[in-house]
């Protein structure tokens, strides 16, 4: 009996050694597998996925990535020596939160104060970045491979670790960015400051779309292994970057005391790339001291298909194949990052980060109505480019004409309308335009403001026609009598020009026969309406002081006691002001007609005079949006207003595809009573 027990114990001892050795072989160094084989799940390679949610390139929150893989975004591979976890993301898919960019990225389940201890380490290699884009855009050809993100306030990012490689280069750059935690409620002025690790920083750009800077001598090649360590202690962030054959780099950044709290603190790098697009804020003095932070890790693709005219730092203009993921993967338009190992440590004081996920999960798919961005929509009705009248604009959108977008900084209301659709009864032109419900006289007064960008004007038309290639973005319209327009604010850009013109027109309130009415045009930046081409496709010189598509500007229309005061502002341009009496005409005699009017209107028989009291006592109202002035009518009928543009038989989709439309974005606008002019 004792002998049998001894034999059994011996057998158990041998078996336990075997099981122990076998167990060790399953949990040994990350990725220790036979050559050519790979682990079944990423969580078999790196055993920390219980501390993260995984956001996929389709915008979904996959939750904890334990025993989970996805063939398109998140899986394992073996390079013949080690197992790796692959994070893969196309240039375009569905995004998470308010971002313009797709990601396959871990987001930490807990948030922590920068005053406590937190640490993230990773060893990885970047295998691909997008092969298309615009070299003048800082974010193009790059991927973020690690972050610290705020869960509170503006949800800004005190750390983003980038890898970026230009097409044709063997070596790319590794750099990290600090994003300011912007002072105040308006986060649109936020900016990044970038620190080079190996190669260049974020601000080294190409001089043209496909012209690249020199290849960095100390850069990192695709497939070359590198490591980073991010440690936060008592409000200070310590960074360490290592890679075989490269100098180890270390950095320190205070997260709870800003060095950018005054405008004079702004670095030259920021002035170079962010200030020109209006991102010129200052940081709150205590930076991120009062906010919960959390780590992120993976492949956050910074190359997208958005038009660089929208944002010249973050909108890459890359190929997206209409969002078809497989086509993007087939021709290199994606980011792919392999991680061999990673670890995370946080204080026991860390708390749930559920609020961040509740606020951001599915946000990109949720409808944000124009009335949520500009809350005065209850004071307007609207006519859209297909002739539809909409009386109630609260919680209303239309994906073809009236909706919201995010430009990488903030949300805008989009007004879009084709060259040809369905128009109002007295117009030749389509519009997606607000129409104020209140009517008032010039003596009663009113005020309208708008901050906007014109993103598109028609690319077809006739250069001899004054209205070609233009859109009206704000009006005062009469609701009585001839129903003329004492104010139309235009943007106009000729094909092939970079800069366009902003001007405003005053239309006379004609004495007698209204077929004799005409406009007088005043230039704000660039040309006035009367500067036209000498033949259909011959354009005047580009205006030196013009406004580009996508360039932000604002206007204020203030009518007080019968006088209209106009103010136009744009960063980098002289502020312009104008005054016009709406209740006493300066055009009552034929001799009062300006030379400009005799040049473009008199030849088509529009050479009338104005009633002496102009618009006095007449009910008028504001309009704002996109009133497309380029139509398909024959110029021989009217060489001022009939543009002869392409309309594709009224097919709106084809017009949109071929640039035969106008699109205007507004981020702020107000309407109300007129006020004494300062």
pLDDT at 16 over 60: no
Asked whether the beta carbons of 314 and 95 are under 8 A apart, the reply is no
What is the model's pLDDT at position 426? 65
Which of the 8 DSSP states describes residue 151? S
What is the model's pLDDT at position 21? 37
Asked whether the beta carbons of 400 and 652 are under 8 A apart, the reply is yes
Asked whether the beta carbons of 415 and 383 are under 8 A apart, the reply is no
Angle at 179 between CA 173 and CA 182, to 5 degrees: 165
Averaged pLDDT, 79-104: 90
Q: How far apart are CA 437 and CA 379, in angstroms?
A: 6
pLDDT class of 365 with cuts at 50, 70, 90: confident
Q: How far apart are CA 114 and CA 103, in angstroms?
A: 25
Question: Tens of pLDDT along 612-637?
Answer: 999 999 999 999 999 999 999 999 99
What is the model's pLDDT at position 3? 37
pLDDT class of 424 with cuts at 50, 70, 90: low
pLDDT at 18 over 60: no
- State the virtual CA torsion across 276, 282, 238, 150 in degrees, nearest 10: -100
Question: Tens of pLDDT along 281-290?
Answer: 999 999 999 9
Q: How far apart are CA 119 and CA 229, in angstroms?
A: 7
* CATH fold label, 33-365: Jelly Rolls (2.60.120)
What is the model's pLDDT at position 30? 44
Question: pTM for the complete prediction?
Answer: 0.76
What is the model's pLDDT at position 359? 86
Q: Tell me, rounded to whole angstroms, the distance of Cα 658 from its chain centroid.
A: 22
pLDDT at 8 over 60: no
Give 585-622 as a 3 state SS string: CCCCCHHHCCHHHHHHCHHHCCCCCECCCCCCCCCEEE
Averaged pLDDT, 601-617: 97
Domain borders along the chain are 33-365, 370-672
Averaged pLDDT, 251-273: 97
Q: How far apart are CA 645 and CA 632, in angstroms?
A: 4
What is the model's pLDDT at position 425? 64
Asked whether the beta carbons of 143 and 160 are under 8 A apart, the reply is no
pLDDT class of 36 with cuts at 50, 70, 90: low
As a whole-number percent, the residues of the chain with pLDDT over 90 amount to: 87
What is the model's pLDDT at position 22? 38
Asked whether the beta carbons of 580 and 563 are under 8 A apart, the reply is yes
What is the model's pLDDT at position 14? 37
Question: Tens of pLDDT along 544-576?
Answer: 999 999 999 999 999 999 999 999 999 999 999
pLDDT at 74 over 80: yes
What is the model's pLDDT at position 597? 97
Question: Tens of pLDDT along 469-523?
Answer: 999 999 999 999 999 999 999 999 999 999 999 999 999 999 999 999 999 999 9
Q: Which two tokens stand for residue 51?
A: 């501390």
Note the maximum CA span of the chain.
132
pLDDT at 157 over 60: yes
181 — alpha (psi -120 to 50), left (phi > 0) or beta? beta
Question: Tens of pLDDT along 168-205?
Answer: 999 999 999 999 999 999 898 999 999 999 999 999 99
Lowest mean pLDDT among 5-14, 113-122, 364-373, 595-604: 5-14
Q: How far apart are CA 518 and CA 515, in angstroms?
A: 9
pLDDT at 15 over 50: no
Averaged pLDDT, 52-76: 95
Please name which of 666, 656, 631, 657 lies closest in space to residue 422, comparing C-alpha atoms. 631
pLDDT class of 361 with cuts at 50, 70, 90: confident
515 — alpha (psi -120 to 50), left (phi > 0) or beta? alpha
- 33-365 shares its CATH topology with 370-672: yes
**Sole residue written with tokens 């073809």:** 400
Asked whether the beta carbons of 645 and 632 are under 8 A apart, the reply is yes
Within a 13 Å sphere around the CA of 629, how many CA atoms are in the beta-carbon half?
A: 23
Q: What does the mean pLDDT of the chain come to?
A: 92
What is the model's pLDDT at position 588? 98
Lowest mean pLDDT among 61-70, 183-192, 356-365, 600-609: 356-365
Q: How far apart are CA 568 and CA 585, in angstroms?
A: 24
pLDDT at 427 over 90: no
Asked whether the beta carbons of 138 and 202 are under 8 A apart, the reply is yes
Q: How far apart are CA 419 and CA 646, in angstroms?
A: 7
First to last CA, the chain: 110
Q: How far apart are CA 599 and CA 203, in angstroms?
A: 48
What is the model's pLDDT at position 555? 98
Question: Tens of pLDDT along 431-467?
Answer: 999 999 999 999 999 999 999 999 999 999 999 999 9
As a whole-number percent, the residues of the chain with pLDDT over 70 amount to: 94
pLDDT class of 309 with cuts at 50, 70, 90: confident
- As a whole number of Å, the CA-based R_g of the chain is 30
What number does CATH give the domain 370-672?
A: 2.60.120.200
Asked whether the beta carbons of 470 and 425 are under 8 A apart, the reply is no
Q: How far apart are CA 575 and CA 141, in angstroms?
A: 37
What is the model's pLDDT at position 95? 81
Q: What share of the chain is helix, strand, coil (3-state, %, to 5)?
A: 15, 35, 50
666-to-319, 341, 433 alpha-carbon distances in Å: 27, 46, 12
């Amino acid at each position: 009996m004792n002998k049998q027990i001894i034999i059994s114990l011996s057998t158990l001892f041998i078996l336990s050694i075997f099981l122990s050795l076998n167990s060790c072989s399953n949990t040994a160094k990350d990725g220790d597998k036979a050559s050519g084989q790979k682990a079944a799940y990423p969580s078999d390679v790196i055993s920390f996925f219980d501390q993260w949610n995984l956001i996929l390139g389709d915008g979904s929150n996959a939750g904890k990535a334990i025993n989970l893989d996805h063939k398109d975004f998140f899986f394992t591979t073996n390079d013949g020596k080690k197992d790796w976890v692959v994070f893969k993301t196309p240039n375009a898919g569905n995004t998470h939160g308010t971002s313009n960019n797709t990601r396959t990225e871990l987001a930490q389940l807990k948030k922590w104060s920068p005053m406590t201890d937190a640490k993230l380490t990773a060893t990885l290699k970047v295998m691909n970045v997008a092969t298309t884009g615009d070299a003048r855009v800082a974010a193009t050809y790059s991927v973020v491979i690690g972050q610290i993100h705020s869960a509170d306030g503006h949800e800004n990012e005190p750390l983003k670790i980038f890898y970026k490689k230009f097409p044709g280069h063997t070596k790319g750059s590794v750099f990290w960015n600090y994003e300011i935690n912007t002072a105040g409620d308006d986060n649109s002025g936020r900016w990044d400051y970038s620190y080079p690790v190996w190669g260049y920083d974020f601000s080294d750009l190409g001089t043209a779309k496909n012209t690249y800077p020199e290849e960095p001598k100390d850069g990192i090649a695709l497939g070359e292994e590198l490591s980073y360590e991010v440690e936060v202690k008592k409000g200070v962030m310590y960074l360490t970057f290592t890679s075989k054959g490269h100098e180890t780099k270390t950095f320190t950044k205070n997260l709870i005391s800003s060095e950018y709290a005054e405008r004079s603190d702004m670095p030259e790098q920021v002035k170079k790339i962010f200030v020109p697009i209006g991102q010129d804020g200052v940081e709150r003095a205590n930076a991120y001291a009062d906010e919960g932070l959390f780590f992120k890790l993976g492949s956050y693709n910074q190359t997208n298909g958005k038009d660089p005219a929208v944002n010249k730092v973050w909108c890459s203009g890359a190929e997206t194949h209409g969002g078809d993921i497989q086509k993007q993967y087939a021709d290199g338009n994606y980011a792919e990052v392999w991680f061999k190992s990673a670890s995370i440590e946080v204080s026991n004081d860390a708390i749930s980060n559920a609020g961040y996920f509740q606020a951001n999960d599915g946000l990109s798919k949720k409808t944000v109505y124009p009335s949520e961005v500009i809350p005065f929509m209850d004071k307007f009705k609207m006519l859209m480019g297909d002739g539809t009248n909409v009386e109630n604009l609260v919680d209303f959108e239309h994906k073809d004409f009236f909706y919201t977008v995010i430009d990488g900084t903030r949300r805008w209301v989009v007004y879009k309308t084709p060259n040809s659709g369905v128009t109002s009864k007295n117009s030749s032109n389509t519009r997606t335009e607000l129409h104020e419900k209140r009517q008032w006289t010039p003596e009663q007064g009113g005020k309208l403001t708008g901050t906007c960008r014109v993103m598109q004007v028609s690319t077809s038309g006739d250069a001899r026609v004054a209205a070609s290639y233009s859109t009206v973005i704000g009006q005062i319209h009469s609701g009585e009598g001839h129903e003329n327009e004492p104010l139309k604010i235009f943007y106009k850009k000729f094909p092939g020009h970079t800069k366009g013109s902003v001007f405003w027109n005053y239309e006379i309130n004609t004495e007698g026969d209204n077929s004799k009415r005409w406009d007088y045009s005043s230039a704000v930046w660039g040309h006035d309406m009367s500067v036209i081409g000498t033949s259909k496709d011959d354009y005047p010189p580009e205006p030196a002081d013009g406004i580009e598509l996508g360039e932000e500007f604002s206007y204020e229309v203030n009518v007080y006691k019968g006088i209209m005061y106009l103010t136009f502002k744009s960063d980098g341009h002289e502020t312009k002001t104008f005054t016009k009496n709406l209740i006493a005409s300066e055009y009552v005699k034929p001799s009062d007609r300006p030379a400009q009017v005799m040049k473009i209107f008199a030849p088509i028989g529009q050479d009338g005079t104005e009633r002496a009291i102009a618009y006095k006592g007449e009910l008028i109202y504001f309009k704002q949006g996109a009133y497309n002035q380029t139509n398909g009518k024959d110029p021989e009928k009217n060489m001022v207003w009939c543009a002869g543009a392409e309309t594709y038989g009224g097919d709106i989709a084809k017009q949109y595809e071929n640039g035969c439309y106008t699109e205007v974005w507004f981020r702020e606008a107000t309407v109300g009573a007129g006020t004494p002019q300062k």
